[in-house]
Chains A and B, each alone.
Chain A
Amino acid sequence: MTDVAITAHEVSKRFASHTERATSIKERLVRRKAASVDFYALRDVSLEIAHGQSVGLIGANGSGKSTLLKVLAGILRPTEGTVEARGRIASLLELGAGFNGELSGRENIYLNASLLGLTRRETDKLYDSIVEFAELAEFIDNPVKHYSSGMYVRLGFSVAVHVDPDILLVDEVLAVGDEHFQRKCLNKIAEFQQAGKTILFVSHSPDLIEKVCTRAILLDHGQVRFDGDPYFAVAELQKLLGTDRPDSIPDEGPEGEITFGPVVFSDRPGGPGMSVFPAGSAFSAKVEMTLGANSVKALHTVRTVVLGVGDIPIWVMTATDDDLPDGPGTWELDFFVPQSPPVKGRFVLIIQLFTEDEELITYHRTQHAFGVESEHKLGIIGVDYKVGSTQVATG
């Protein structure tokens, strides 16, 4: 038995645009060959998900997240490529999919469990636990059409997790429950993780992804844009969505005439924006600021501090009067590091402006971080070391 729970190999999913598709025999006869406008929901997606991994799936609306989940669940057939899954899959793609409003909660539990592959006897054993987890004991004999959407999702989630799948696929459904239930779900997910189960879930909540997942996959227009540390995946997504822009909101300095523009991280001066860098690579931070005549006169030093987690300064880059333009207007300062220190982590910048007397004029802190990835799983740097061992007593 290998360690891989799910393998997707060059999976593409093409949808023929609906207007172009013959949905009746007449259409089929009339236009023999429609000029079909194809739409690729997924394009050459290759993934390997190991047993026990918790993977978040993120992306903008329409990026192919749900399609990928459905392809992995075996609901949609990939147009090209192959998907292989080892173990029992339970998918929760919609709250209460397969529930019938006319039936009671109890009947729906049995029907849903049956759909997910449980025998009646197995369901009998789990029944009390399902009801208890969903906290629906007093409503269990009411038709579910009278349930609130929160109750619906509780029941659906409860059945799905009790099926005890090896692989759990969850679309954005947890957002519906209240905080109490969400916490419960997270606990259940943590339980799953401890039991070594594989979880793949779609979420729009960066917090949730970062808290729960050990890995995140960012989809963009049906392609894998990023696959790795959840934090960086979220940062990359925010860049895609343009929500990393708060940086460009003018930061009023005390002088009232200094404003900061966006800070762009790249691997070369003037290069395209990036948010993740391999350890030890070239790194550039471009800072944009607009200064009036008075502040230009007062300004002597621009100090850029790279802060790690807990606001620990990692390194400092300083530009003094000689490095700076001398006219008022908008400046771009580019700090270039040919080889950044091999330190893994997430970093933010703080840009401080000083007078000649080292008096702080103003400062600006970037809202968004950049990340450095390295091969070291633990610790933030790699160090060469030797291990010596001697047995000093017999046990």
Chain B
Amino acid sequence: MSATSIDQRARAQRQVRRELLVGLIRKDLKVKYQGSVLGFLWSLANPLLLLVVYSFVFGVVLKNGIPQFGFYLLSGLLVWNMFSGSVSTATESVVGNSGLVKKVRFPLGILPMTAVGFNLVHFVLQLFVLLVVMLATGFTSVLGPGLLLLIPALAVAMLFTVGLAYLVAGLNVRYRDTKHIVEVVLMAGFWVNPIVYSIAQVTKELNRHGLANAYYLNPMAGVTTAMQRALYAKDVVLANGDHVLADPGYLFYFERLGVGAVISLLLLWLGTSTYRRLSADFAEEL
């Protein structure tokens, strides 16, 4: 067999893989909204409803003082939802497709990616809706060079998400406890990351113990704060002297995202190698 035909075959295989991934994501989307009248609109309405509810709770009832709190919240929440949705869907991605895994030979690495892709589609659309609503309501601070921070922030978010997705998807086949552990950890993670409160409240405490940098060992902390810098973008000073944003500049975020990227890459390596090792026995374990 000549080198070119091997090359061609590899290319054809990559194409099949890509098409399979797209096909499976499309299937999941289609199945999810099958039979509902509004269909896809539900996933767009979801963040808008959250915007209303949280604006009311934290702007009127609990009064945390962050102006236009809804926008602040969604700046961090959308990417967190993408992450946590991907990880929890991925946990079940192999177990939930047991019929396929046991009966058809196909590239198993597709399954966690399908879970991530499914949530990524929602995220992109929700982000788009958020930007439209921001501009429509005159929230123009989003339009600035800071918006470019989206690119490295999302890159790190994706690395971390994919790495964790592979790890939990593989482990859950062998140990069904994984699903429950993931649930608890994701719930805790939501509160550990500065999504409904401002980062300053955490760093104040941590600084006292000299742990402020350790906080960013969690890649999602870097990602959410960078997302807030990119989308909310206004460094408001609150009544108690706290800044809403972690830092008004850019370098700060690049450093934190860099740390996050290194950790994410390690996790990606761990996740994919664990998944690959376990996947040989998936058909048997299910």
Give the B-binding residues of A (Cβ under 8 A). 15, 23-26, 28, 70, 73-77, 89, 91, 93-94, 97-98, 100, 102-103, 107, 110-111, 114-120
> Which of B12-20, B42-50, B51-59, B197-205 interfaces with chain A?
B12-20
The docked-state distance in angstroms from the alpha carbon of A288 to that of B228 is 93
**Segment touching A, from B22-30, B116-124, B139-147, B187-195:** B22-30
Say whether B283 contacts A116, CB under 8 Å: no
Prevailing SS type, chain B contact patch: helix
Partner of A75 from B12, B20, B102, B176 at Cβ < 8 Å: B102
Give the interface of B toward A (CB within 8 A): 12-13, 15-16, 19-20, 23-24, 27, 30-31, 34, 99-106, 174-177, 280-281, 283-284
Chain B residues within 8 Å of A75, by CB: 101-105, 283
Known contacts A103-B30, A103-B31, A111-B24, A94 near B103 by CB under 8 Å: yes
Q: Give Cα distance in the complex from A75 to B176, angstroms.
A: 21
Q: Which of B102, B104, B176 contacts A24 (CB 8 A)?
A: B176
Q: Are A110's CB and B23's CB within 8 A?
A: yes
- Report which of A23, A25, A119 forms a contact with B15, defined as CB distance below 8 A: A119
User: Other CB < 8 Å A-B pairs besides A98-B103, A117-B16, 8 of them?
Assistant: A24-B176, A24-B177, A26-B177, A77-B281, A97-B104, A103-B27, A111-B24, A119-B12
Contacts A25-B177, A26-B177, A107-B27 given; does A98 touch B100 at CB 8 Å: yes
B27 neighbours in A (Cβ, 8 Å): 100, 103, 107, 111
Write out the residue numbers on chain A whose beta carbons fall within 8 Å of the beta carbon of B34. 102
Bound form: Cα–Cα A24–B177 in Å? 6
**B32 nearest in chain A by CB position:** A102
Residues of A within 8 A of B283 (CB): 70, 75-76
B103 and A24 contact, CB distance less than 8 A? no
What are 13 A-B residue pairs whose CB atoms fall within 8 Å in the complex?
A23-B174, A25-B175, A73-B105, A74-B105, A75-B103, A91-B105, A93-B103, A98-B100, A98-B104, A102-B34, A103-B30, A111-B27, A116-B106
The closest CB in chain A to the CB of B173 belongs to A23
Q: Which residue of B lies closest to A117 (CB)?
A: B16
Q: How many whole Å from A72's CB to the nearest CB in chain B?
A: 10
B157 CB, min distance to chain A CBs, angstroms: 28
Residue of B nearest to A28 (CB): B175
For B23, the chain A residues whose CB sits under 8 A away are 110-111, 114
- Given the known interface contacts A91-B105, A97-B103, A98-B103, the answer about A119 and B16 at a Cβ–Cβ threshold of 8 Å is yes
A50 to B281 Cα, complex, angstroms: 28
**Which residues of chain A come closer than 8 Å to B102, judged between CB atoms?**
70, 75
Q: How far is the CB of A145 from chain B (nearest CB, A)?
A: 10
B residues near A115, Cβ cutoff 8 Å = 20, 100, 104, 106
Is A120 touching B176 in the complex (CB atoms < 8 A)? no
Q: Which residues of B contact A73 (CB under 8 A)?
A: 105
Point out the residues of chain A lying under 8 angstroms from B19, CB to CB: 114, 119-120
B31 touches A23 (CB 8 A): no
Across the interface, do A24 and B105 meet the contact criterion of CB distance under 8 Å?
no
Q: Return the chain B residue nearest A93 by Cβ.
A: B103
- Complex Cα spacing A117 to B110, Å: 13
A102 to B99, CA, bound (A): 15
Distance from A17 Cβ to chain B, minimum over Cβ atoms (Å): 12
**A-B complex: 7 closest residue pairs judged by Cβ atoms:** A97-B103, A114-B20, A77-B280, A93-B103, A102-B31, A94-B103, A75-B283
Which B residues touch A110, using CB under 8 A?
A: 23
Q: Known: A76-B284, A110-B23. Is A97-B100 also a contact (CB below 8 A)?
A: yes
B residues within 8 A CB of A100? 27, 31
Cβ contacts under 8 Å, B100 to chain A = 97-98, 115
State whether A114 and B31 are in contact (beta carbons under 8 Å apart), knowing that A26-B177, A70-B283, A75-B103 are contacts in the complex: no
A15 touches B284 (CB 8 A): yes
Give Cα A110 to B26, complex, Å: 12
Expressed in whole angstroms, the Cα–Cα distance for A107 and B19 within the complex equals 13
How far is the CB of A201 from the nearest CB of chain B, in Å?
Answer: 15
Contacting residue for A97 out of B13, B30, B99, B280, CB 8 A = B99
Q: Tell me the smallest distance from the CB of B216 to a CB of chain A, in Å.
A: 29
Q: A89 to B19, alpha carbons, bound, how many Å? A: 19
Residues of B within 8 A of A111 (CB): 23-24, 27
Nearest Cβ in chain B — how far from A308, in angstroms?
44
CB distance from A64 to the nearest CB of B (A): 14
Bound complex: CA A55 to CA B100 (Å): 25
- Once the chains are docked, how many angstroms separate the CA of A94 from the CA of B283? 14
Inter-subunit contact A23/B176 (CB<8 Å): yes
| Nearest Cβ on chain B to A90's Cβ, whole angstroms | 9
Q: How far is the CA of A94 from the CA of B13 in the complex (A)?
A: 24
Residues of chain B within 8 A (CB-CB) of A77 are 280-281, 284
Bound-state Cα–Cα, A25 to B172, Å = 11
Task: Point out the residues of chain B lying under 8 angstroms from A94, CB to CB.
Answer: 99, 103
Quick one: closest B residue to A100, CB to CB? B27
CB of A9 to closest CB in B, whole Å:
18
Nearest chain-A residue to B35 (Cβ)?
A102
Bound Cα distance from A395 to B174, whole angstroms: 74
Contacts of A91 in B (CB 8 A): 103-105
B286 CB → nearest A CB, Å? 11
B105 touches A98 (CB 8 A): no
| A171 (CB) vs chain B CBs: closest residue | B103
Which of B19, B102, B105, B281: most chain A CB closer than 10 A? B105
* A70 to B, closest residue via Cβ: B283
Report the separation of the CA atoms of residues A73 and B102 in the bound assembly, to the nearest whole angstrom: 11
